[in-house]
Amino acid sequence: MKVLRQGYYWPTMKEDATNFVRACDRCQRFANYSSMPATLLTPMVSPWPFAMWGIDLIGELPKAKGDVKYAVVAVDYFTKWVEAMPLTEAVNKIIKHTLKTKLEERKGNWPEELPKVMWSYNTTPRSTMGERSFMLTYGYEAMVPVEVGSGSLRRDCYRKEDVEVNQRLHLDLLEETRENSQLRLAAYQQRAARYYNKKMTSAQNKRRPYK
């Protein structure tokens, strides 16, 4: 952050700074830690047509051309104008399975549990990307609920002016974070494709009749 304030920048600034701090004993023991705090929920009202949309899914429907079996529907809050289009699948299968498992444990109380499950998922590091979804979206780490109740350094030493400055600096580094995550995800997808194709080829060879 000090380097950014002086007007310097290079593509791997965040990674270089992280490696430097990890190797510095004093940084690990005494460095200040600050980030955006949790905020109160603010109801939002659409001020004019097409400013805000509500989105929902319909399905599963009978599979149609292109293997589509869902429809996504968007409704403008102001005019109630409706748009819709077909989809191939509603959500990533791994995410869907994880959410379904967590919510089924709560039985009839799953609607109350849903926000907590979503928050937990979005603030948990993804092995495929090396980052949390919250970080990739907003550019800084979320404050977890336990910090609100039990306290932490960044919560107890909170100063609005410092947080606003640090938020702008974090956003300057967001592009580097996203690019690194894209590289990790691409590498993971290539490994998964090689593994899948290898199994597919092996299965096809086994099914071929001997001459």
Residue 135 Cα distances to 36, 84, 142, angstroms: 12, 30, 7
CB 167 within 8 A of CB 140: yes
Q: What is the predicted pLDDT for the residue at 209?
A: 61
Q: What is the pLDDT of residues 153-172, one digit of tens each?
A: 777 777 888 878 877 887 88
Q: What is the pLDDT of residues 147-157, one digit of tens each?
A: 777 777 777 77
Q: What is the predicted pLDDT for the residue at 123?
A: 84
Q: Is the pLDDT of residue 37 over 50?
A: no
- Partners of residue 57 on adjacent β-strands: 72
Sign of CA dihedral 167, 172, 176, 178: positive
Q: What is the dihedral of CA 143, 146, 148, 152, to 10 degrees?
A: -80
Q: Is the pLDDT of residue 60 over 70?
A: yes
d(CA 98, CA 126): 13
CB 58 within 8 A of CB 71: yes
> Model's pTM, two decimal places?
0.49
